Chains A and B, each alone.
Chain A
Amino acid sequence: MGLVPYRARRLESVISICLLAVLFLIGVGVFIKQFDYNTNQYGIQQLGVSLISIGAGLVPTGFEMLSKVEVYNSENLYEKINGKAPLYIESGFKELSTQRFVNINDRSLWMELYTYDMGTVKNAFSVYSIQRRAGSEAFPPMQLGTPQSGNPFAYRTDNALYFVHGRYYIEIVGSSESGELFSAIAEVARKIQANLAAGLDASIAELAMFPQENLVPGSIKLYLVNAFGFEGLTNTFTAKYKSGNETVTAFLSKRADSKDAEVIAESYRSFLIENGAVIKNTTSKTIVGKVMDFYGTTEIVFTAGPFVAGIHEAENQQAAEKLAKILINKLNSLNNE
């Protein structure tokens, strides 16, 4: 480069570095700026407002709005659903919007739509699964034009439809068992799926972790807190399995790591023993020391990698142990993947 005076070169370097520092600050500034946003601006909104705005679009054919949209938060949820409120509030409840639609020609046919914003798909699934009425009929995946968008978390009773839509748990309850009314209910459900942005991205991984054989369809529940009355069992999934004429309940919960799983399993076993459980003998080597008798029912609690799992309140010890083995194998194979 020739004979450049030392000073000028240093000045050039200093200036260059300063300019790069400015670039860096710009980058930081831009990055900080992107945290500052309000989704309401673009039309993606908090449910209450969005239901008010799309509420108009949900009205089924032949119906009209019977009342204005009502919005409830965790403070006044009790006013609407009374004793059911604690379940939602414990499960991450954010907001409830309700609305009623009535048939224009026959005012005795009306429905009420409850849209619970539970914050995440898991929370919504939890309240959905816990609320599931026995003897209900799984509602065929709701068609939205493409089979992929079929919703697996939906069931119906004679007069109502219950389903999960992303982070929302939706109940649509009709005033009677009329087929015409239920068609309208289904139409509202389809419209919700089409029009309500719900963040459907998250899926619930644990559902696939249960062994499939003999699993009673639609029996998986998620207890976010206090599963089986024990504080430490959070985020616990349960599933029912057919065994001859009986059903056996299995459970699992993914913890942070295997150490944490051990701790939880151990404390749950202690909790049971404190409350009167007694360790039983078992022929199975893998679950020695993990099988307990709790007032006549069998309780098995073990770990498999980061999972705490087991069998809950089984009538038949043999069936319980058999299922426990299958469960252990499944979880171990998942851990080894």
Chain B
Amino acid sequence: MKIVQARRISQVFFFLLFIWFCIVSTVGEKLWQLRGWPVNWFLQLDPLAAIGTILTTHALYRGLLWALVTIILTIVFGRFFCSWVCPFGSLHHFVGFWGNRKKSAAQKIRLNKYRKAQCIKYFILVFFLFMAAFPSIAASLQVGLLDPIPLITRSFNLIFLPIVDRSVNFVSVSDRFYVGGWLIFAIFLIAVLLNLTIPRFYCRFICPLGALFGIINRFAIWRIGKRQNECVNCKLCEKSCEGGCEPAGKMRISECVLCFNCLDDCGENIISYQTQPSLAGEITNPDISRRGFVLSLASGIFAIPAVRLSGKLGSNWYHKVIRPPGALAEKEFLKRCIKCGQCMRVCPTNVIQPGGIDGGLENLWTPVLNNRIGSSGCQLNCVACGQVCPTSAIRPITLSEKLGTGEFAEAGPIKLGTAFFDRGRCLPWAMDKPCIVCEENCPVSPKAIYTQECFNTIRDGILTVKKVSDNTMETVENNLSLDKLATGDYYCAVEGDERRKIVANTENSIEISPDKLFGKIPTAGSKIEVQVRLQRPYVDIEKCIGCGVCEHECPVSGKKAIRVSAEGETRSADRKLLLKR
């Protein structure tokens, strides 16, 4: 068996494994649902997530220890990950191969020559790492933007899977939405299409993970190289070179992705995977200029303090950024979130959405709740998001902690924010229409929404009595709608008497409930008022946990009459609404 065959099988294996993990990330017990599938494995193997979080938090969190395996194997063998494991890399490899397959050998060799621009990915890496490097001043983890594993995880989970699943509704019973998906898709598509110009475009020029590997593989024991000097310089080894590392000349170790195509293509058996450096010479260091390095370093250091001048982490914070239960306080959160989208994928109600930049540049693709989308706000007895977060930007809380039961009873439930009524839009407050859907759906007990009864005289509701017989009253006016008042919400208020419930009406008569007839028969010519009984809802902000079910259910479906805002969220001490809980 040829080594390239093994490599191809490995690429297919890991790609399919990746797709499988995307499919099964639905909470449930069936074999094709979450169960114990290690759906975060690729993200955990990714050393950028590990190193990034080590820089920002000075700790290596749990599952990210897998990155050590990748690092050690890379140190010993070289950039195996790029060619053998990375699903994004495999995709680029395939598209690059397929898009350029009809070209001649000479054209392909030209496409695969080393380009100076391949140093850009190192600058990108340095830029991101230094953005994360000084948590005491200001540090933010933004590697997730271009790190290939979170990128492909986002793209598949939030774009391709929902689109494909819409036709079969296998993974999800309802159609899933992800706000701003167009941007994620666009970036993914551009990255993939660029392979038609130069194969593995992203890997060679952009990928910061590849750059990281390119730096740490300098002491690899084995590397690609010429084992003999009798090379005829046919350059066929560069025909399918994936890394753009020029094995025909001085071998650029930092660019070699161990695809072994050169070994396979060499007709003279010159290229091998060996312990000694290539007999034609070897360059271990990435080709980056000191100027470029310093520039990206400085930019990285200044970038976050510059971005944070917007005040979005201080007094100018954006109230619509409502984060999932268990999320850390904002500064700490931004140190850990790698924008992988797992929480958005696993959320059973589809309420977690990728954030936009309205909450600040750092907010892009971080999890933000949008209560209008999905089935029901943040489901009360669900803590799935924290369980799948690979870096603990959302802590893996227990249900007890979320609901404030058991040992957390004194601390109380976790609040995501507080609901606020927009009384100008709320039906009972502004439109004289009964409705208490919000109160009915409030899941906590005692409810955080309570109502107070009030009676309002309706429009054109003052009528003149013509005649009263039994429980029917004829009016002088003739402009009521037939049985409009028969819903059980309308009452007839008479001076000096209790109001009576209306059970039916015609254009000019009102019938009150026989259970309770008029105490004092109204005289002809006197005035009565038709009133609507309203239950006007209030939020008890001590009890409200900001779950958003009320906002979701509110029938004023455009701009909701009750909206959750992040004030009062438990995770932020400085956004407290109440003095005590």
Contacts and interface: CB of A to CB of B under 8 A. Distances in A.
Q: Check whether chain A touches chain B (CB < 8 angstroms).
A: yes
Given A34-B36, A44-B27, A56 B443 contact: yes
B445 A56 contact: yes
Interface string A1-14: 11111001000110
Interface residues of B, number: 42
Contact of B382 (A33, A43, A49): A43
B399 interface: yes
B405 A53 contact: yes
B518 to A, nearest CB: 25
A140 interface: no
A274 interface: no
Interface in B372-406: 379-384, 387, 396, 399-400, 403, 405
Given A16-B6, A20-B9, A41-B387, A57 B443 contact: yes
Contacts of A27: 13, 17
A94 to B, nearest CB: 15
B9 to A, nearest CB: 6
A37 B6 contact: no
A54 interface: yes
B37 interface: yes
Contact of A43 (B266, B384, B440): B384
Candidate in A3, A49, A56, A59 with the most chain B CB atoms within 10 angstroms? A56
B514 interface: no
A184 to B, nearest CB: 12
A16 to B, nearest CB: 4
Interface string A50-62: 1011111111010
B1 interface: yes
Interface string B422-456: 00000000000000000110011110000000000
A30 B34 contact: no
Contacts of B175: none
A23 interface: yes
- Interface range, A side: 35 or more
B381 A195 contact: yes
Contact of A57 (B37, B439, B445): B445
Contacts of A5: 269
A130 B452 CA distance: 45
Contacts of A262: none
B267 interface: yes
Q: Most B CB atoms within 10 A — which of A2, A26, A34?
A: A34
Nearest to B268: A2
A12 B37 contact: no
Given A33-B36, A33-B38, A23 B13 contact: yes
Nearest to A12: B3
Contacts of A297: none
A32 to B, nearest CB: 9
Contacts of B38: 30, 33-34
B35 interface: yes
Contacts of B399: 40, 43, 45, 49, 53
B565 interface: no
B29 interface: yes
A52 B405 contact: yes
Contacts of B29: 39, 44, 199
A36 interface: yes
Given A23-B10, A42-B382, A4 B269 contact: yes
Given A8-B269, A33-B38, A42-B27, A16 B3 contact: yes
Nearest to A23: B13
Nearest to A18: B6
Interface in B14-47: 17, 27-29, 31, 34-38, 41
Contacts of B444: 56-57
B36 to A, nearest CB: 4
B291 interface: no
Contacts of A20: 1, 6, 9-10
Nearest to B380: A57
A19 B10 contact: yes
B116 interface: no
A37 B17 contact: no
B323 to A, nearest CB: 18
A15 B5 CA distance: 11
A23 B554 CA distance: 52
A36 B36 contact: yes
Contacts of A12: 1-3
Interface string A246-263: 000000000000000000
Interface in B347-365: none
A43 B381 contact: yes
B269 A2 contact: yes
Given A2-B268, A33-B37, A52-B405, 8 more contacts: A13-B1, A15-B3, A34-B38, A42-B27, A42-B34, A53-B405, A54-B381, A65-B445
29 contacts: A2-B269, A13-B1, A13-B2, A15-B6, A16-B5, A17-B1, A19-B6, A23-B13, A27-B17, A30-B17, A30-B37, A33-B38, A35-B35, A36-B36, A42-B382, A43-B379, A43-B383, A43-B384, A52-B405, A53-B381, A53-B399, A53-B405, A56-B443, A57-B381, A57-B443, A58-B445, A59-B446, A64-B446, A195-B381
Q: Rank and list the top 10 A-B pairs by shortest CB-CB distance, nearest first.
A: A37-B36, A16-B6, A56-B445, A43-B382, A57-B443, A16-B1, A34-B36, A36-B36, A59-B445, A34-B37
Interface of A: 1-5, 8, 12-13, 15-17, 19-20, 23, 26-27, 30, 33-37, 39-45, 49-50, 52-59, 61, 64-65, 195, 199
Interface of B: 1-3, 5-6, 9-10, 13, 17, 27-29, 31, 34-38, 41, 266-269, 272, 379-384, 387, 396, 399-400, 403, 405, 439-440, 443-446
